Amino acid sequence: MESGGSVANPFRAGLPASKTAGPSSIIIFGASGDLTARKLVPALYDLAVDGLLPRVAILGASRSDMSDDAFRASLLEGVAQHARHRPVDQALWSTFAASIHYQAVAYDDAASMKALAMRLMAIDQTHAMAGNHLFYLSTPPTVFGPIVRNLGVAGLATPGDGLFARVIIEKPFGVDLATAMALNREIREVLSENQIFRIDHYLGKETVQNLLVMRFANGIFEPLWNNKYVDHVQITGAEVLGVERRSAYFERAGILRDMVQNHLLQVLSLAAMEPPGSFEADAVRNEKVKVVQALRPIEANDPLGRVIRGQYASGSILGDSVPAYRDEAGVQPRSTTETFVALKLFIDNWRWAGVPFYLRSGKRLPKRVTEVAFHFKAAPHRLFKNAKDSIGMEGNVLAIRIQPDEGIALSIGAKVPAASMEIAPVSMEFRYASSFGRDAPAAYERLLLDALSGDGTLFTRGDEVEATWRFITPIHEAWAASTEDPEFYEAGTWGPRGSVDLLRQDGRSWRRP
């Protein structure tokens, strides 16, 4: 059960019934970090502007010493720069900021966490909160376990009757299968699975969610969503940026951990899953897990046939010269960390048997874009044999653009206006901004609202995390045992030659988003 509140709330006028939550305190660990100022608090502010935010108090907690007023001032600066609704509504901000507080805390010290619990109790009383608590771990993963353990010691992990205590955990959730399993065990000693919300902001993006709506709310698509009609699927996560200031993290992670293990495999599982029995959290997540578990393993002793590892060399991005990855500040001169990866995957089940799923992700590519593209089989008989046919044997493509310019495009063949028979591809497009007259809300808005209301549908369950690592870890083990360098590619291009050959050997090619 969730607690309700009778105190008037100026923010929640437009809150849908399915997303109701009682008054709640949100405790952000790592509150002095970049994520809080750029994403979390702007998202909460935007929810408040839209009338969707339940009545909340916010307690920032991190190692730094800071006053409440200094914390509020830093958050206002972040909201002014990063919120959807700009300029800042000063009257609304004043109301919003009055519920924001700050407490210095040592994450691995039980006494410090007990002091935070006392402060939280006082805040709950001051703002007439019901005792519901949502903890957000925006910290280095090394302290996930100590924070959760000390929440238990301080009595904050066990809610009272009719109340909730939930914990949102940022990625990365482990660095391989062994560490993910160990972290799951450590956290579950304190929390039940329904209290844990492992966040991947990709699942909060409107177009990712629209994969489910497009498939299961429209009778036209689902009959075609199988190996009888789909030739292959391409999933691309491309970035123009290099490692920027994240070299210390990226040297340990690489693009396979940073993008594929979480973001792209999440997109894959939603795109390929079976219809769930209902749109309830466990029903949806059960089907997602089945997809990952059905991925054909890539063995540690022979990953190279279906995995291409690349690293960017110097080149030009949007007319500007950029250095090679090995020349970036903080990167080892002989680093073998991959900045690009392409994979050929198979889902060994009846729906997708024989259909290759090609995934690629990389840095310093020509364009920032994330999309999933379904390439359908060509018409079985070429009726217009003598026509000039630009569609040829490529078939139709349904592309779901996740970022930027969120939308969906379907390419079909159409006759070119002319005396002769000439067929050319045309695109039928839907874009969120033009169709609905506004940009899609930020991913963190949806995810924070879901966590407050207890909806875990768009969060990753523990068995799914372990399933993705079970698939990914052998690739890392093979690379660790190899003495070969990654295949280098010029910055500003679409990756190494091996990525092109991965599809060319199958008679296919990457689409240019």
**Domains of the chain, earliest start first:** 17-170 (3.40.50.720), 203-504 (3.30.360.10)
Catalytic residue selected from 101, 201, 263, 476: 263
Helix (H, G, I), strand (E, B) or coil at 61: strand
What is the per-residue DSSP string for 322-373? E--GGGSTT--TT----SEEEEEEEB-STTTTT-EEEEEEESS-SS-EEEEE
Q: Are strands 340-346 and 356-362 parallel, antiparallel or unpaired?
A: antiparallel
Task: Scan for tokens 């304190």, then name that residue.
Answer: 190
Query: Regarding predicted confidence, which is higher, 30 or 402?
Result: 30
Q: What is the pLDDT of residue 404?
A: 85
Q: What is the pLDDT of residue 417?
A: 77
Helix (H) or strand (E) holding 487: strand 487-490
67 CB-near residues (< 8 Å, 6+ apart) = 102
Sequence letter at residue 350 = W
222 CB-near residues (< 8 Å, 6+ apart) = 215, 216, 275
Q: What is the pLDDT of residue 391?
A: 53
The number of helices, as runs of H, and strands, as runs of E, in the chain is 15, 18
Query: Regarding predicted confidence, which is higher, 21 or 4?
Result: 21
Per-residue pLDDT tens over the stretch 77-96: 999 999 999 999 999 999 99
pLDDT band at 196 (very low <50, low <70, confident <90, very high): very high
Q: Nearest-CA neighbor of 512 among 309, 254, 501, 500? A: 500
pTM to 2 decimal places: 0.89
pLDDT band at 172 (very low <50, low <70, confident <90, very high): confident
Task: Scan for tokens 């809300």, then name that residue.
Answer: 441
Q: What is the pLDDT of residue 303?
A: 53
Per-residue pLDDT tens over the stretch 293-345: 999 998 755 555 789 999 999 999 988 999 999 999 999 999 999 999 999 99
Q: What is the pLDDT of residue 44?
A: 96
Q: What is the pLDDT of residue 384?
A: 64
Per-residue pLDDT tens over the stretch 174-189: 999 999 999 999 999 9
pLDDT band at 407 (very low <50, low <70, confident <90, very high): confident
Residue 257 CB neighbours (<10 A): 23
What is the per-residue DSSP string for 205-258? SHHHHHHHHHHHS-TTTGGGSSTTTEEEEEEEEE-S---TT-HHHHHHHHHIII
Q: What are phi and psi of 419, to 5 degrees?
A: -70, -30
pLDDT band at 14 (very low <50, low <70, confident <90, very high): very low
Q: What is the pLDDT of residue 5?
A: 39
Give yes or no: 263 in active site.
yes
User: CA-CA distance, 254 to 261, in Å (whole number)?
Assistant: 11
Two tokens, residue 351: 């729906």
pLDDT band at 380 (very low <50, low <70, confident <90, very high): confident
User: CA-CA distance, 122 to 114, in Å (whole number)?
Assistant: 13
Per-residue pLDDT tens over the stretch 224-266: 999 999 999 999 999 999 988 888 889 999 999 999 998 999 9
